[in-house]
Amino acid sequence: MDFHDTQFLYRLTADFTVVIHFAFVMFVLLGQILITVGAFAGWNWVRNFKFRIIHLASILFVVFESVAGIVCPLTTLEKWLREQAGQTSYQGDFIANWVHDMLFFQADPWVFTVCYSLFGLFVLITFFVAPPRRKLKVQTAEEV
């Protein structure tokens, strides 16, 4: 593999990292929308214990990063991959460029910390207002 093939792989991996990052953000945002709507609509699946724990842990991770001043590992990885690809600015394909622009916009860091914290608080409140439920194991006659 020559130098240009390696750069292409780094760029492709950076683009893939942005898509994964976007999927994570959409999981947190759309997940909360569906949980909220589902709680009022009586959808049982939004009370799935594993889903709700993963969802809560996801936003708490983001809040922790923001409060601690830690740059997201996916952002760090993407920047490193772009450097390895020889890119100084974002130069991916259309989808990756669009996803990147949706994820990263300019504001003071405190704005993001407040937004993440308020959203995390909303998720936590929803966790108690519409609590997740564990599936009960049904015992068979042989187990009794």
**pLDDT digit string, tens, across residues 77-111:** 988 998 998 886 555 554 556 666 776 777 788 88
Q: What is the pLDDT of residue 144?
A: 56
Decide: 62 and 122 in contact? Cβ < 8 Å.
no
pLDDT digits (tens, 9 = 90+) for 2-37: 556 889 999 999 989 988 999 999 999 999 999 999
pLDDT digits (tens, 9 = 90+) for 109-127: 888 889 899 999 999 999 9
Supply the pTM of this predicted model: 0.78
- Would you say residue 47 has pLDDT above 70? yes
Q: What is the pLDDT of residue 94?
A: 47
Looking at the DSSP bridge assignments, the partners of residue 48 are 133
Q: Which of 34-48, 69-83, 126-140 has the lowest mean pLDDT?
A: 126-140
Q: What is the spatial distance between Cα 95 and Cα 30, in angstroms, rounded to a whole number?
A: 20
Q: What is the spatial distance between Cα 37 and Cα 132, in angstroms, rounded to a whole number?
A: 14
- Would you say residue 48 has pLDDT above 90? yes
- Would you say residue 133 has pLDDT above 70? yes
DSSP helix/strand/coil, 32: helix
Q: How far is Cα of residue 43 from the mean position of the Cα atoms in its chain? A: 23
Q: What is the spatial distance between Cα 86 and Cα 3, in angstroms, rounded to a whole number?
A: 11
Instruction: Please name the amino acid found at residue 129.
Output: V
- Crossing angle for the helix pair 3-41 and 73-84, to the nearest 10 degrees: 160
Stretch 35-57: mean pLDDT = 96
Task: Give phi and psi for 50, each to the nearest 5.
Answer: -65, -45
